[in-house]
Amino acid sequence: MHGVAGHGGGALSSRFSSLDSMLRPRSIAVLGASNDPTRIGGRPISYMLSQKFAGTIMPVNPNRTEVQGLPAYASVADLPSVPDAAIVAVPAELAVQAVDNLGARGVRSAIVFTAGFAEMDGAGSLAQSRMLAAARRHGMRLLGPNCLGLFNAHIGFYPIFSSSFENGWPPPGRIGIASQSGAYGTHMFATARNRNIGTPICVTTGNEGDVTVGDVIGWLAEDPDTDVIAAYAEGIREADSFLAALAVARAARKPVVMMKVGTSALGAHAAQSHTASIAGNDAVTNAVLAEFGVVRARTTEEMLDIATTATRRIYPVRNTLGVITISGGAGVLISDAAEALGLPMPEMPPDAQARLKAMVPFAAPRNPVDCTAQAFNDMSLIGRFTDSMIEDGGYTSVLGFFTQVGGADSIAPRLREQMNASKARHPDRLFVLSVVAPPVRIREYEADGFTVFEDPTRATVAIHAMGQFGEAFAHLPGLPPPAVPAVELPPATPSEAAAKRMLAQAGIPAAPEAACATPDAAAEAAERMGFPVVLKVLSPDIIHKSEIGGVILDVHGAGAVRAGFATLLHRAAAATPSARIEGVLVAKQLRGGIECILGIQRDPVFGPVAMVGLGGIFVEVLRDVALHRCPFGPDVAERMVRSLRAVPVLLGARGRPPVDIAAISAMLSRLSVFAHQAGPRLRSVDLNPVLAMPNGEGAYVADAVIELGEAA
């Protein structure tokens, strides 16, 4: 659980297990039960009867004594026993009281289909709050409101009103779905079913008045019948349960593949109106998902590709791809896809290439290894080439491109025999095939333990994802965040000098400087430091000094300092007449460093998030930055720095000396702890530039802006 400090792992784990009564109940009441199996209150009963739910179903309908052949009851009070769970499918004006009645009777879970709450307007939000208060008063878990429901095919449990089951039931499998959207969650299930991919558990959370998508991920992570988790979210409502769930899933070696939508301004607005979610900053979401090894899918097809490949439960660490192909063109296509993903495809060793050439002189044995169509005259070549790739090339993943040849009746049985023998000799390797064949033939390959794709690019994406999971599962606890003294925040946003004093208390050094109230004091300070110096107007009301000409660089001599002092005060008075001016900051102008930017932004979901990048064009134009949730240790900070695309600049490009990476990493780590300890009043920190000096000479803050919210 490293990185989820303070999230109350034990309490959250019990929060996950408290969903047992909702997802594995022995009995269920249906409020608003209908005798019509096509109505919202009738479908769940019809489905559960059809799929032989082993528990007790108790319809509640004051106007009927029987519903779909089952005894019906007039009210919750009339139920002959207390059910584990209940469906609420009554009008919105009755739903809040219905939840209260269920809780008073001792029901442990409610699944609320009813809409018209927080997804609608302020009045709906108030009604949802009353519903949630009633549930909490009785210690009852609540799914929804405004949810489509859930299903657990393992026990024939279908408290859901989707029509998707009219076209078929979930096949057996070990993939669980957690989705905020009901329609999209069942879309994922139906798409999977049509590909014969088993998703026997699906939970849709709707408005998330209580149960969140994080809660469901956590429950699936602890569920012995689930190996892989596919999640869909429009926004993360509650960070603690979400982060704890991802940590539990990673510890259990259960891959999480996620579609997180709402990345565009239009998409974010749709998420707000659809499930009253906070979409959050998408770059921050990416960083948080990467922190826990969650693979983000771009499409439903990609999500299912990755999820079904993950059910093989082979997650290579330091993944490398070896390709055996009968098509040079396909080999180029796969190589391009792998390079774009960052999936290594190292060449076969020269001696192994020579041995393969001896077997088939016109083979191309580098990698991709093109064994040509000659292999189908001597099928043993397939096995020998594949074994060599694993034993000599050391590849952790093997992709075999056999196209429609792999589906031919005259070839497929012998091809399966060779590939199965190679797979049996190397059970720790991931084997994926690209084959075009009738469904019955594909099912044969899948039964052998191969994942099969028609499109080799899709196969490459899925193989890359397995390596991402492997790296996450091999994750070792990193260095702890450094001990940083707690710094007391001032009542209001500080000036630059005050901001730097606060940072210095946290062990974050600035270039030598002095705050000066008079021109003579500024000149004396500059002479003590040595020229050149930088002059900056000092005001808590002028945050972005350069925009008003409030910074003067390369100042030489006491006279120039006095003149610069007067110039800065004049510019400040002209640009912002009401600003409080404290004087001028005189700072030693450091030379020989590379400008970097470090910062903190408070995300509305995940709290303070740290950022690092190179200054200038790398930040402003290229957006080359790394992000990570606070706090973290110096090892995480160094990985962030080294992940920048422009890191060669820091490592000594074009003959420049390498900068002090350790110093920048230590500063970033200490900044992350400072931000974490500062609490919610800290809105942002902008250290720009930070001068990364040559190796061994440290790093220094040249400019600092700390923005605070109002004191309580």
pLDDT tens digits along 166-187: 999 999 999 999 999 999 999 9
Q: For the chain, what is the total number of helices (H) and then of strands (E)?
A: 24, 28
Predicted local confidence at residue 695, as pLDDT: 94
**Distance of alpha carbon 288 from alpha carbon 416, whole angstroms:** 41
CB 153 within 8 A of CB 147: no
For CA atoms 161, 163, 166, 167, give the dihedral sign: negative
DSSP state of 592: S
Predicted local confidence at residue 10, as pLDDT: 59
Predicted local confidence at residue 279, as pLDDT: 38
CB 35 within 8 A of CB 62: no
Q: Which two structure tokens, joined as six digits, stand for 30?
A: 């249906």
- Taking only the tens place, the pLDDT of each residue in 268-288 is 544 443 333 333 478 899 999
Helix residue spans in 18-118 (DSSP H): 20-23, 43-50, 92-105
Q: Report the largest interatomic distance among the alpha carbons of the chain, rounded to a whole angstrom.
A: 99
Q: Which residues of 43-67 are buried (b: 16+ CB within 10 A; e: fewer)?
A: bbbbbbbebebebbbbbbbeebeeb
Predicted local confidence at residue 270, as pLDDT: 47
Q: Which domains are assigned to the chain? A: 20-146 (3.40.50.720), 148-297 (3.40.50.261), 321-473 (3.40.50.261), 512-588 (3.30.1490.20), 594-708 (3.30.470.20)
- Taking only the tens place, the pLDDT of each residue in 251-269 is 999 999 999 987 655 445 4
User: Closest Cα partner for 244 from 640, 201, 608, 236?
Assistant: 236
Predicted local confidence at residue 278, as pLDDT: 39
Predicted local confidence at residue 14, as pLDDT: 86
How much of the chain exceeds pLDDT 70, in percent? 95
Residues with pLDDT less than 70, the chain: 1-13, 263-280, 617, 712
Predicted local confidence at residue 11, as pLDDT: 67
Predicted local confidence at residue 617, as pLDDT: 67
59 Cβ contact partners less than 8 Å away, ≥ 6 residues apart: 29, 30, 33, 45, 67, 68, 70, 71, 72, 73
Predicted local confidence at residue 544, as pLDDT: 81
Angle 695-700-705 (CA atoms, 0-180°, nearest 5)? 150
**Distance of alpha carbon 239 from alpha carbon 245, whole angstroms:** 10
- Taking only the tens place, the pLDDT of each residue in 482-528 is 999 999 999 999 989 999 999 999 999 999 999 999 999 999 999 99
Radius of gyration of the CA atoms of the chain, in A: 31
**Distance of alpha carbon 488 from alpha carbon 677, whole angstroms:** 10
**pTM, two decimal places:** 0.90
**Distance of alpha carbon 99 from alpha carbon 144, whole angstroms:** 12
**Distance of alpha carbon 62 from alpha carbon 611, whole angstroms:** 59
CA distances from 542 to 339, 451, 608 (A): 47, 60, 24
